[in-house]
């Protein structure tokens, strides 16, 4: 009997062909297996019926750990007797199916790690050690099928040793496309900050030593450059912050191992599991009470973002040093994506760093580290990138058109919705200029090519001036397809509905800013959402943003707007005039603007949290996105809800002036921590109460919470408690970021709801 099989899913770049080879040979079958240009694997086997059945069972049940099978079709025919043995044959360029994809980059596996440490092994001390179970994938592939010549490994000719392993069915590197050794593979080297080579025998460990001594080193990884420093000394971090103009933004660090990590941060079993998985993301961990690393790593915050070494190179950095961790922050010039090319690195990072640790392997696609945090046992993905992208998010619903979501403005990703799978791109960043726009376009191209799909509908934000909105319109013209604008907060809630396969929900969407259907700034919304669209049920009170975007940068301006008319704002602002870049003059302008009432207004929850943070003296100037609210959350984690304010609603508008006023009046009576906690509690209680009332009225069972504020643990936990006590199901994100990294997914889902 002859069986012709097509397997789609994640089956290239995961050791699938070698596995098929071994399974076929074990069952005495002849035939072939090959990769195809649509990421599908094609198999033909011939042999007796029982053996073919056993083969097919084995194919499903014993597949390699990273392989995913979405679909498997089998055609049976009569034996043709055309094969003598089973072979892996040359890949075909065939592209007829869509929706398969290659895997994300995979962190170094334990077997490779062991070999790296084994003096008798050929790859002893070799930084680019990989096998069929580990190594770069998404960042190294140029085009399908996943063959060495289609990856950036094509620049390296395999030596006899590697080539023998590559051809040996019993070897772990049988058909491993990234196979390499010190003789034939990529090489690492150290240079000055001008790119002049530095002679040394062991450049990686030398880089580790330089870091320990206090130097700043740019290190090339698999998906881009990191800028690294020591973590126990403040001087290099201060220097790095100064040259990068990053005064406060938390920097991610890489700890040498899990045990060391536990010496400065609290690690729960769930966190440890993900930290050591093949994804190895950055996890935001609570600092221990005896935290001993430099406070400059995440100033003013109760947590620190930590990851473990995920390549051979990273592991070796720690070999000869006592430093427990290194700062490992993405190397990107302001408002530009992470740097991937050696020449660009010298040009753009040369003035920032003291040395470069380069390697000579090209990066095909950049990919930043992923960032997550846990609320108890519950995973919140902040940035879904390395280790996740381009692995799809499976949906229970299915759309019949291929839909592209292009995101909003900040933390953009793109998303391709194809039948029951959503392929979300790696993290792109804030799309405000040419570099990031180009990166977004490339990511869209790469995704459509990898999945062999053709975009039929494009979904974008409702904001007419976003760069992504314009991109959607241009793409719509080029591809001659429909463009559907989706309101920002509806997209947040639609992403929850998509993730959990729900048709209706009362959604709480809280963030910094989203363009409302009435053209005003929204950001503290209660929406009734279903597949037909949404209705705005209620929101936080509108407050003036004195100076527009300036009110986002200087939260005291929000305070002035909220308290105007309640207290003598002018007098209070004058007493704080040093907090304004232009001092008393600026205060006078602010007061004048308030009196004329010619200021834009916002219902943003983020801006209320910012205002409270400023009143409590935690943050007067926002130097990175979310800073005032994040410092507030950190302080609140040590406080109690001493004010215990009762929610006050005016119709369906939550009174937040009351909250800000109370915090202002009580600021000398309670601790900052207790007031911070009380403020978050008031917001959570009010939002939950209004959502519950509306859900009862509308007879809706599910209440969801999305938007950037949903990263806040206390607010999320408080809303959950109230919602669940009232008998409703509380829905939050587990697989998609609640913040704007999840917007492209929500846009695509919302567009998918619409009937063609
Ligand atoms: Zn490996
Ligand atoms: Zn070799
Ligand atoms: Zn948002």
Burial of residue 619 (CB within 10 Å: 0-12, 13-18, 19+) is buried
What is the Cα–Cα distance from 330 to 311, expressed in whole angstroms? Answer: 16
The ligand that comes nearest to the alpha carbon of residue 164 is 2
**Cα–ligand 1 centroid distance for 69 (angstroms):** 21
What is the Cα–Cα distance from 409 to 432, expressed in whole angstroms? Answer: 7
pLDDT tens-digit series, residues 459-514? 999 999 999 999 999 999 999 999 999 999 999 999 999 999 999 999 999 999 99
The ligand that comes nearest to the alpha carbon of residue 163 is 2
* pLDDT, position 756: 78
**Cα–ligand 2 centroid distance for 87 (angstroms):** 23
* pLDDT, position 41: 97
What is the Cα–Cα distance from 683 to 707, expressed in whole angstroms? Answer: 14
Phi, psi of 124 (to 5 degrees): -55, 130
Q: Look up tokens 């530095």; give the residue.
A: 198
What is the Cα–Cα distance from 103 to 96, expressed in whole angstroms? Answer: 20
Averaged pLDDT for residues 589-596: 90
* pTM for this prediction: 0.96
* pLDDT, position 567: 87
Give the model's confidence band at 334: pLDDT under 50 very low, under 70 low, under 90 confident, else very high: confident
Spatial CB neighbours of 114, under 8 Å, sequence gap ≥ 6: none
Tell me the pairing of strands 504-515 and 702-706. Answer: parallel
**Cα–ligand 1 centroid distance for 562 (angstroms):** 57
What is the Cα–Cα distance from 489 to 278, expressed in whole angstroms? Answer: 33
**Cα–ligand 3 centroid distance for 227 (angstroms):** 29
**Cα–ligand 2 centroid distance for 157 (angstroms):** 8
The ligand that comes nearest to the alpha carbon of residue 512 is 3
* pLDDT, position 563: 94
Averaged pLDDT for residues 181-203: 97
| pLDDT surpassing 80 at residue 200 | yes
Do 567 and 635 contact (CB within 8 A), yes or no? no
Helix then strand then coil, in percent of the chain rounded to 5, is 35, 20, 45
Give the model's confidence band at 82: pLDDT under 50 very low, under 70 low, under 90 confident, else very high: confident
pLDDT tens-digit series, residues 555-581? 999 999 999 988 888 899 999 999 999
pLDDT tens-digit series, residues 10-58? 999 999 999 999 999 999 999 999 999 999 999 999 999 999 999 999 9
pLDDT tens-digit series, residues 217-252? 999 999 999 999 999 999 999 999 998 888 999 999
Which residues are within 5 Å of ligand 2 (an ion), measured at CB?
159, 162, 181, 183-184
**Cα–ligand 3 centroid distance for 539 (angstroms):** 15
| pLDDT surpassing 90 at residue 586 | yes
The kind and range of the H/E element at 486 are strand 482-486
Q: Which tokens sit at 603?
A: 């219902």
Written in H, E and C, the secondary structure of 379-432 is EEEEECCCCCCCCCEECCCCCCCCEEECCCCCCECCEEEECCEEEECCCCECCC
Before 665, cis peptide (omega within 30)? no
């Amino acid at each position: 009997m002859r069986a012709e099989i097509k397997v789609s899913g994640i089956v290239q770049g995961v050791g699938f062909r070698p596995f098929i080879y071994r399974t076929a040979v074990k069952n005495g079958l002849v035939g072939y297996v090959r990769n195809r240009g649509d990421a599908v694997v094609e198999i033909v086997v011939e042999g007796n019926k029982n053996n073919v059945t056993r083969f097919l069972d084995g194919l499903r049940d014993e597949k390699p750990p990273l392989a995913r099978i979405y679909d498997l079709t089998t055609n049976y025919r009569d034996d043709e007797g055309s094969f003598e043995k089973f072979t892996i044959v040359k890949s075909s360029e065939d592209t007829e199916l869509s929706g398969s994809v290659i895997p994300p980059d995979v962190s170094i596996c334990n077997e490779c790690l062991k070999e790296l440490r084994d003096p008798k092994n050929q790859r002893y001390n070799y930084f680019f050690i990989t096998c069929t179970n580990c190594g770069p994938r998404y960042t190294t592939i140029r085009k399908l099928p996943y063959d060495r010549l289609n990856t950036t490994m094509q620049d390296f000719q395999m030596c006899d040793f590697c080539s023998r392993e590559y051809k040996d069915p019993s070897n772990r590197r049988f058909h491993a496309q990234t196979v390499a050794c010190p003789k034939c593979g990529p090489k690492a080297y150290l240079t000055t900050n001008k790119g002049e080579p530095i002679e040394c025998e062991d450049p990686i460990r030398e880089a580790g030593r330089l870091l320990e001594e206090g130097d700043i080193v740019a290190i090339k990884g698999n998906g881009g450059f990191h800028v690294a420093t020591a973590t126990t000394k403040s001087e290099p971090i201060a220097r790095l912050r100064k040259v990068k103009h990053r005064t406060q933004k938390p920097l991610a660090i890489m700890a040498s191992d899990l045990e060391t990590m536990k010496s400065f941060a609290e690690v729960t079993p769930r966190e440890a599991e993900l930290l050591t998985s093949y994804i190895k993301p950055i996890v935001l961990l609570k600092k221990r009470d005896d935290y001993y690393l430099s406070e400059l790593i995440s100033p003013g915050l109760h947590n620190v973002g930590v990851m473990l070494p995920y390549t051979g190179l990273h592991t070796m950095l720690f070999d000869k040093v006592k430093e427990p961790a290194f700062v490992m922050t993405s190397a990107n010039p302001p408002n530009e994506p992470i740097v991937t090319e050696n020449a660009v690195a010298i040009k753009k990072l040369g003035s920032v760093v003291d040395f470069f640790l380069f390697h000579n392997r090209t990066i095909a696609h950049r990919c930043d580290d992923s960032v997550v945090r846990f609320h108890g046992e519950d995973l919140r993905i902040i940035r879904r990138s390395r280790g996740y992208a381009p692995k799809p998010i499976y949906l229970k619903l299915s759309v019949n058109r291929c839909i592209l979501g292009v995101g909003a403005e900040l933390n953009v990703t793109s998303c391709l919705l194809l039948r029951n799978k959503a392929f979300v791109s790696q993290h792109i960043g804030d799309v405000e200029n040419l570099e990031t726009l180009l990166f977004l376009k490339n990511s869209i191209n790469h995704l459509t090519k990898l999945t062999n799909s053709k975009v039929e509908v494009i979904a974008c934000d409702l904001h007419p001036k976003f760069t992504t909105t314009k991109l959607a319109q241009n793409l719509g013209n080029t591809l001659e397809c429909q463009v559907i604008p989706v309101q920002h907060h509806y997209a947040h809630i639609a992403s929850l509905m998509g993730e959990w396969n729900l048709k209706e929900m009362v959604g709480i969407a809280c963030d910094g800013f989203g363009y409302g259907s009435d053209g005003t700034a929204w950001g503290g919304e209660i929406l009734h959402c279903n597949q037909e669209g949404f209705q705005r049920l209620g929101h936080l009170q509108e407050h003036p943003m004195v100076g527009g975007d300036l009110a986002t940068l200087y939260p005291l301006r929000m305070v002035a707007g909220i308290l105007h008319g309640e207290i003598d704002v002018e007098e209070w602002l004058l007493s704080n005039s040093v907090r304004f870049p232009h001092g008393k003059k600026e205060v006078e302008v602010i007061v004048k603007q308030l009196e004329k009432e010619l200021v834009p207004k916002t219902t943003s929850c983020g801006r209320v949290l910012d205002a409270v943070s400023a009143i409590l003296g935690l943050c007067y100037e926002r130097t990175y996105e979310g800073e005032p609210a994040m410092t507030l959350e950190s302080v609140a984690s040590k406080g109690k809800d001493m004010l215990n304010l009762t929610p006050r609603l005016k119709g369906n508008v939550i009174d937040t002036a009351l909250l800000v006023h109370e915090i202002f009046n009580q600021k000398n009576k309670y601790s900052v921590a207790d007031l911070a906690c009380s403020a978050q509690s008031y917001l959570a209680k009010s939002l939950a109460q209004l959502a519950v009332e509306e859900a009862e009225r509308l007879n809706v069972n599910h209440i969801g919470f999305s938007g950037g504020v949903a990263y806040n643990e206390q607010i999320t936990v408080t809303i959950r408690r109230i919602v669940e006590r009232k008998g409703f199901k509380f829905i939050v994100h587990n697989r998609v970021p609640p913040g704007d990294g999840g917007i492209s997914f929500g846009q695509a889902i919302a567009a998918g709801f619409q009937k063609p």
